[in-house]
Amino acid sequence: MSIDGYVDDVAEDRLLLSNDADFDRVDAVRAACDAILVGAATVRQDNPRLLVRSRDRQKERVARGQQPTPLKVTVTSSCDLDPRARFFTLGDVDKLVYCATPTLELARKKLGDVATVVDGGDPLDLRRVTADLYARGVRRLMVEGGGSMHTQFLTEGLVDELQLVVAPFFVGDSRAPRFVGDGAFPWGPDHRAELAEVRQIGDVVLLRYKLSDRFDAV
Ligand SMILES: NC(=O)c1ccc[n+]([C@@H]2O[C@H](COP(=O)([O-])OP(=O)(O)OC[C@H]3O[C@@H](n4cnc5c(N)ncnc54)[C@H](OP(=O)(O)O)[C@@H]3O)[C@@H](O)[C@H]2O)c1
């Protein structure tokens, strides 16, 4: 996020907040996960690839018996998703779309050839999503935004670790999306989160918070 807590600006192009060294660190974190989840709005707006980029890290994953890059996961209630988005077309890996029950049929028609469409409930329930992912072998899920997903995973108490990177500039436009929206977060003035690590990476800073006993310090 920016110094003032935004994860994008209002321009059409995606705002780059990290530097090269931090993008590489994120690649290493991705490589250590079983699945990467983003909200459907991020798929629509940023058209992200969500792949492990480093060939060496891909090879290490294969040597461990994993697919070269983690499962891709998104959630939607509208199913306004383009099957030509890079989320679906890139990476020889399963793509999972958790969809609210009322749009399940539409989602299967639209995305059935490019993804596995799963009933997420009505309304969609993130605990059901994470339980289903667990049943599919996912032990480490990386949630990479946007703000709506961060807010829901945090307020639901589903997060073991928060990695927050602060870029050295301001966005200064309240129309831009923030790192999180409004919500009843488990961590407030009377229940402070545990800061586990602070790391300078060039001109950005990484803050790691331990949010549950499942936090893995390594
Ligand atoms: N800087 C960063 O690291 C970073 C990373 C990722 C994203 N971003 C930015 O974040 C912004 C997007 O964030 P956002 O908060 O607007 O959107 P988002 O979290 O990416 O996605 C929100 C969408 O996900 C679906 N969704 C979320 N919760 C749901 C639920 N409980 N049930 C059913 N569907 C649900 C809905 O999709 P439908 O509308 O399809 O129903 C909703 O509109 C973009 O500007 C992007 O650039 C920044």
What does the alpha-carbon distance between residue 34 and residue 45 come to, in Å, rounded to a whole number? 24
Name the closest-CA residue to atom 32, ligand 1: 124
Q: Using an 8 Å Cβ cutoff, are 18 and 204 in contact?
A: yes
Q: How far is the CA of 61 from the centre of ligand 1 (A)?
A: 28
Tokens of 96: 């999972």
Name the closest-CA residue to atom 10, ligand 1: 146
66: region left, alpha or beta (phi > 0 left; psi from -120 to 50 alpha): beta
170-186 pLDDT, tens digit per residue, is 999 999 999 999 999 99
17 lines ligand 1 (CB under 6 A): yes
Tokens of 135: 């049943």
Residue 141: per-residue pLDDT: 97
**Residue-averaged pLDDT of the chain:** 97
Confidence of residue 99 (pLDDT cuts 50, 70, 90): very high
Which atom of ligand 1 sits closest to the CA of residue 77? 41
41 lines ligand 1 (CB under 6 A): yes
Confidence of residue 30 (pLDDT cuts 50, 70, 90): very high
Q: Which of 183, 178, 193, 198 is nearest to 1 (CA)?
A: 178
Whether residue 167 is predicted with pLDDT greater than 80 in this model: the reply is yes
Name the closest-CA residue to atom 21, ligand 1: 39
74 lines ligand 1 (CB under 6 A): no
Q: Using an 8 Å Cβ cutoff, are 98 and 73 in contact?
A: yes
Q: What is the mean pLDDT of the segment spanning 99-106? A: 96
Percent over 90 (pLDDT), the chain? 97
47-91 pLDDT, tens digit per residue, is 999 999 999 999 999 999 999 999 999 999 999 999 999 999 999
Q: How far is the CA of 64 from the centre of ligand 1 (A)?
A: 32
What does the alpha-carbon distance between residue 183 and residue 120 come to, in Å, rounded to a whole number? 22
What does the alpha-carbon distance between residue 10 and residue 21 come to, in Å, rounded to a whole number? 25
What does the alpha-carbon distance between residue 134 and residue 141 come to, in Å, rounded to a whole number? 9
At residue 99, what is the residue type? C
The phi and psi torsions of 191 (rounded to 5 degrees) equal -145, 85
Query: Ligand 1 pocket: which of 3, 76, 101, 174 to mutate (most atoms <8 Å of CB)?
Result: 76
Which atom of ligand 1 sits closest to the CA of residue 100? 33
What does the alpha-carbon distance between residue 48 and residue 151 come to, in Å, rounded to a whole number? 20
Residue 218: per-residue pLDDT: 64
Whether residue 216 is predicted with pLDDT greater than 90 in this model: the reply is no
Q: What is the mean pLDDT of the segment spanning 176-204? A: 97
Which atom of ligand 1 sits closest to the CA of residue 124? 32
89 lines ligand 1 (CB under 6 A): no
3 state DSSP class of 71? strand
Query: Ligand 1 pocket: which of 8, 27, 180 to mutate (most atoms <8 Å of CB)?
Result: 8
